Amino acid sequence: MFNEYDPIKKKMFQVMDNNGKIVNTKFKPDIEDKEVLKAYKDMLFARTADNMIVSYQRQGRIFTYPPNYGQEAISGAVAQLMRDDDWLVPEFREMGAYLAKGASLKEIFLYFMGYEEGVNFKNAKNFIPYAVPIASQLVHASGIGYEIKYNKKDQLVYTFVGDGGTSEGDFHEALNFAGVWKAPVIFIVQNNQYGISTPFKVQTASDGIAIKSYAYGIKGIQVDGNDFFAMYKAVQESAEHAKAGNGPVLIEAVTYRKGAHTTSDDPTKYRTKEEEQEWDVKDPLKRLKAYLKSKKLITEKDEEKLIEDYKKEIDRQFVEAENYGPYPLEDIFKYNYGDMPEDLKQQMVEHEKFLKCKEVSLNAHV
């Protein structure tokens, strides 16, 4: 597969078309339909949760949040293949992978509410907390991969970054180090076309991101990131390559961020409705649902019931997180300076006002 879809050939790997039809039978992964259905349900749950979190944020019930909307097939594929002992070193846009690794929605909610407990994953093994500083997690992933290689462990590292993160120095350092030491790391770049508001065309002069693998002496492949089957096969082959001691792989997953960069962003300022509509026909859930419907494995009625049940569970866990209770103000303000400066005192006053507003909001939803 890596030879046929060598990035120098400028050929994107795809298995399923926009209508859910398998167009590349040679590389369709060996995955049973019941597992595909499970993957779809997981992706649907992640999208439902994602959209509800945006709604909670608009109501003032949670802080700034980075939507995953439109990119679910990437995490969805990794979620089906990642083993318990493998490492997940994410950024902040991989809801499906977080849940697959063992994080609960409540923990995810707590993180975006500002609680330390939000990254103390009780049931998630080998899961590094989300990295907000762009691309910093890639260096950590390479270091973990080096330790795995050195101690001859049967583990892999899955790490994610956006196309904007490939312009950071950490991207070069991580891939260079992992390539030299043949660390078993799968670098997944979610090329969602924008680094906040910077379009990909001004992010790099190279023909995509996968071709950068040549500079590090590692395998690379450009994949249709909205095609679940293509992502599954690419991740599966990359895992086998890395487990065999052949070193890391760079996967460029071409996708589209259908939502905002974060809830503090307004994408209408830098992209058009026409562009959004063009990408909407490539939506990962629409395509996979079309495949499942052709196999008579799901109906619209089935999906409606799933979403209804999902919303109840998501809301239940959100209410639990919402009732967690505030941290003592001293934890936030008291221990920064010997004598608190005026600007910090003002921040404490503003935070107290926020907590009162939150209490009013909570009472309104009881």
Catalytic residue chosen out of the listed positions 58, 83, 150, 270: 270
Catalytic residue chosen out of the listed positions 257, 287, 291, 310: 257
Distance CA 253, CA 275 (A): 18
Q: DSSP letter string over 106-130?
A: HHHHHHHTT-GGGG--SS-SSBPPP
DSSP-derived secondary structure letter, 223? E
Catalytic residue chosen out of the listed positions 47, 93, 241, 261: 261
Distances (CA, A) of 192 to 37, 74, 127, 201, 290: 25, 11, 24, 12, 23
Distance CA 283, CA 76 (A): 13
Contact 145, 152 (CB under 8 A): no
User: Is residue 365 annotated as part of the catalytic site, yes or no?
Assistant: no
User: Is residue 58 annotated as part of the catalytic site, yes or no?
Assistant: no
Distances (CA, A) of 220 to 24, 67, 248: 19, 27, 9
**What's the distance, CA 22 to chain centroid?**
25
**Burial category of 271 from C-beta neighbours within 10 Å (exposed 0-12, middle 13-18, buried 19 and up):** middle
Active centre residues (catalytic): 257, 261, 270
